[in-house]
Amino acid sequence: MRVLQVVTMLSRDGAYGGPARVALNQSAELLGRGDDVTVVAATRDYPLGPSWIDGVPVRLFNARQLVPGSGFAGLGAPAMTRWVGRNRTRFDVVHIHFGRDLVVLPVAVTMRRSGIPYVLQTHGMVGPSDHPLAAPLDAALTRRVLRGAGAVFYLNAPEREQIGAVARTVLPFVQLRNGVPTYRGTAVRPGPPEVLFVARMHPRKRPVAFVEMAKALLAKGVEARFTLVGPDEGEGSAIRAALSGDTRISWEGALAPVAIPQRMAAASLYVLPSVREPFPMSVLEAMSVGLPVVITNGCGLASVVERTASGIVTDPAVPALAAAVESVLAEHELARAMGERGRAVAHADFGMQPVAERLQDVYSRLLGSGP
C-alpha cells in the first residue's frame, strides 16, 4: 500500500511536539510491515527535499509564516501544497495529521477535490475555538474537509465531541490511540535523583510551575536535581527569571526528538504540570522507559496512570505537584514499582503493533479491499 503521511512541521528541536512524533512512529511501523510510506512536512531547519528522519523517508518544504504573530496557525508551505497536488496519484491513501494551519489544510482541500481517499487525525487540535482565524476557516474549509474524510481518528470521547461540534454532522469516527515503540529502560544512576520536564516551553505546558515546584522542594531540603528540556515557545524569559541562578535547576534547551527516550531513561521521575492535555506523547515515552510520572488531572492519560498506579495524578497547583513529587522521591521502592508498571502498560496497551493494524484495516477498507 502506498501511503502519504502529512504533518505540519518536522524540526530538529521537536517544536511541533506530539503530532510529529506520532507521524514518524506510525510511518516507521507501517514501513516495517511492508507498506510504502512517505512523510511530507514543512521545516525550518532540516534540509529541503527528499531525506530520511529516524529511518522514515520524508519530503520537506520551506515553512513560511503567512500570518505574522499567529504561531503554527499562520504557518504555510505553498511549495508543499503544489508538490502534493502534482504527486497525489502516486499514493493510494493520504493520512493527514490535521489542524487549522495553512500547511495541512490546503493539502486536505486538495485531497477532497481530487477524490483521493484521505483520513484525518486531529491530536486534539480541532475543536470549538475563540481564535480569530478559527471561525472563518471552519466555515470555508474545515467542515468540508472533515465531512469528506474516509475516517476521522480520535483519541477519546472528549476529542470526538469537540470534532463533532466543529463538523456539525455525523462523521466516520474511528478511535485510534497514540503508540510508542519499545525503548531501552532506565538504569541506576549515581548521585541525587533527577526530576525531568520534557516539553515545549509554552504557557500551556507550565514550565514555570515546574521551576516553582522545584524551588519549593529544594527549600524544604529535598535532595534532587530538576531539569527542563525543550524548545522555547514563549516562556523562555520567564523561565530564566525564575531559575534565579540555582544550579540544581537547569534548562538544557531543545533536544532532537529521537534522543528524548534515551534522555528520559537517565532520569528518575517525569513531571508534566500542563493542563488540557489530550494525550501527551512525552508521558507515554516516559512510561515506556520505566519512569514514574506525575501529571495533572487535566491530562488525557490521568485515568491510565491512576488505574495502573504508574505514577501520581494531582491537582495542577504548585503545592500539590510538589507534594506528589516529594512522595515519589521519598520512596525508592514505590518509584521503582511505579516505573515498572508504567513500562508494562506502555508496551501492552500502547505498543505500535495494534496502532499499525488499525491503520491498515482502515486504509484497506477505504480502498475496497478490507472488512
Whether 184 maps to a domain, the answer reads: no
Identify the band that residue 369 occupies on the pLDDT scale cut at 50, 70 and 90. Answer: low
Average pLDDT over residues 1-12: 96
pLDDT band at 130 (very low <50, low <70, confident <90, very high): confident
Instruction: Give every CB contact of residue 269 below 8 A, 6+ residues apart in sequence.
Output: 193, 194, 195, 196, 291, 292, 293, 294, 325, 328, 329, 335
Residue positions counted in the chain = 371
The single-letter DSSP state of residue 68 is T
Q: Are residues 174 and 224 in the same domain?
A: no
Confidence (pLDDT) at 72: 78
Same domain, 342 and 201: yes
Query: What pLDDT does residue 68 have?
Result: 80
What's the chain's average pLDDT? 94
Question: How many domains does the structure of the chain reveal?
Answer: 2
Q: Which amino acid is at 169?
A: T
143 sits in the region (left: phi over 0; alpha: psi -120 to 50; else beta) called alpha
Rounded Cα–Cα distance for residues 198 and 205 (Å):
10
Are residues 293 and 359 part of one domain? no
Residue 141 lies in a domain: yes
pLDDT of the residue at 310: 97
- Structural domain including 271 reads 194-349
Both 239 and 337 in a single domain?
yes
344 with 361, same domain: the answer is no
Q: What are the tens digits of pLDDT across the range 68-78?
A: 877 777 889 99
Query: Does an H or E element contain 104, and which?
Result: helix 104-114
User: Are residues 15 and 156 both part of a single domain?
Assistant: yes
**CATH number, position 271:** 3.40.50.2000
* Angstrom distances, CA of residue 341 to CA of 144, 302, 338, 348: 43, 15, 5, 10
CA atoms within 13 A on the CB side of 219: 8
pLDDT over 90 at 269, yes or no: yes
Q: Which three cell numbers stand for residue 197?
A: 520536564
Query: Do 172 and 32 share a structural domain?
Result: yes
9 and 97, same domain (yes or no) = yes
pLDDT for residue 371 is more than 60: no
Strand order in the sheet with 269-272: 249-251, 225-229, 194-198, 269-272, 293-296, 311-314
pLDDT of residue 83: 97
- Look at residue 128 and tell me whether its pLDDT is greater than 80: yes
Residue 299 has pLDDT above 90, yes or no: yes
Please check whether residues 55 and 200 belong to one and the same domain: no
If phi > 0 it is left, if psi is from -120 to 50 it is alpha, else beta; for residue 71 that is left
Q: Quick check: 277 pLDDT over 70?
A: yes
Please indicate, yes or no, whether residues 152 and 45 belong to a single structural domain of this protein: yes
Residues contacting 2, CB < 8 A, separation 6+: 35, 36, 90, 91, 92, 93
Residue 189 lies in a domain: no
Are 128 and 85 members of one domain? yes
Q: 185 in a domain, yes or no?
A: no
Longest dimension (CA), the chain: 64
What's the N-to-C CA distance of the chain in angstroms?
Answer: 16
For residue 322, CA distances in Å to 127, 181, 211, 362 come to 32, 31, 10, 44
Asked whether residue 188 is domain-assigned, the answer is no
- Does residue 153 form part of some domain? yes
What is the Cα–Cα distance from 17 to 157, expressed in whole angstroms?
A: 22
pLDDT of residue 14: 87
Q: What is the pLDDT of residues 181-237, one digit of tens each?
A: 989 888 777 789 999 999 999 999 999 999 999 999 999 999 999 999 999 989 999
> Given a cut of 80, is residue 133 above it in pLDDT?
no
Residue 244 has pLDDT above 90, yes or no: no
Residues 217 and 317 in one domain: yes
